[in-house]
Structure formats: C-alpha cells, structure tokens
A = this chain, B = another copy of it.
C-alpha cells in the first residue's frame, strides 16, 4: 500500500479520530493545509479505492474509517525510506535525529532506554 503525501495527511487525521466525515477531517487538518472540501472528498474516495479506508453512510453523509493500521503503515513508510531512499544506511539517521530534529536530552535518553531495553528482551 503506497500512499501519497496528501493521503498521509488524511490517514493521520483518521487515525486520530474515526469514524469521521469529510467535514470533520477538513476541520482537523485545517491550519496545516487549506484544501477545498472537494479535494478532501476526492482523496477520501481514492483512499477507499485503495482499500485504505472504509466508507459507510448515515443518510446522505459518508463516514470514513481507516482500514489499515497506523503502525503497519508507518513501518512500511520506514522500510520504503530505508530501502529505496537510504540504500539501507542507518547511521546517518541517528545524526540526523540529533542534529536536525534537535531531540531533547530527555528524548535521547528515552531512545537509549528503548534500545537497551530491547537488548535485554532478546
């Protein structure tokens, strides 16, 4: 399942709150982007076509729900990034995290904790 940038936006909104109407989706993402109502509708329809979202109606209004799990979708996106874009390299990523995203000391410690924790588990 490959999603476009705009589709991610919609999916992220739906993962936060669902079922949701097109109107609700728009409201949730307004401020981040300014799309016409029908633009959002079009993307929702396309997502339904891709099988990423379900649609059911109450009266004449459609309610949408994600059909794919956020976690899986994100993993796919990561895999894609690493395989296709990064050619498998991991280390530059860590530096990126630290340099560009300016993760806090706290977050850094959290990451270390996660890494160590898994070390124990396995």
**19 interchain pairs, CB-CB under 8 A:** A8-B85, A9-B84, A12-B87, A74-B92, A74-B93, A75-B100, A78-B81, A78-B97, A79-B101, A90-B101, A90-B103, A91-B111, A94-B114, A108-B115, A108-B118, A108-B119, A111-B115, A112-B112, A115-B115
Interface residues on A, range: 35 or more
Q: Are A85 and B92 in contact (CB under 8 A)?
A: no
Question: How far is it, in angstroms, between the C-alpha of A118 and the C-alpha of B91 when the chains are bound?
Answer: 13
Q: Give chain B residues whose Cβ lies under 8 Å from the Cβ of A103.
A: 90
| Closest 8 pairs between A and B when the two form their complex, measured CB to CB | A98-B118, A94-B114, A12-B87, A78-B96, A8-B85, A77-B85, A75-B96, A5-B84
Instruction: Known contacts A77-B85, A81-B77; decide if A105 and B90 are in contact (CB<8 Å).
Output: no
Grouping DSSP codes into helix (H, G, I), strand (E, B) and loop, the A interface class, with mixed when no group exceeds half, is helix
Shortest CB-to-CB span from A81 to chain B, Å, is 5
Copies of this chain per assembly: 2
Q: Are B87 and A71 in contact (CB under 8 A)?
A: no
Question: How far is it, in angstroms, between the C-alpha of A108 and the C-alpha of B118 when the chains are bound?
Answer: 9
Q: Does A67 contact B (CB under 8 A)?
A: no
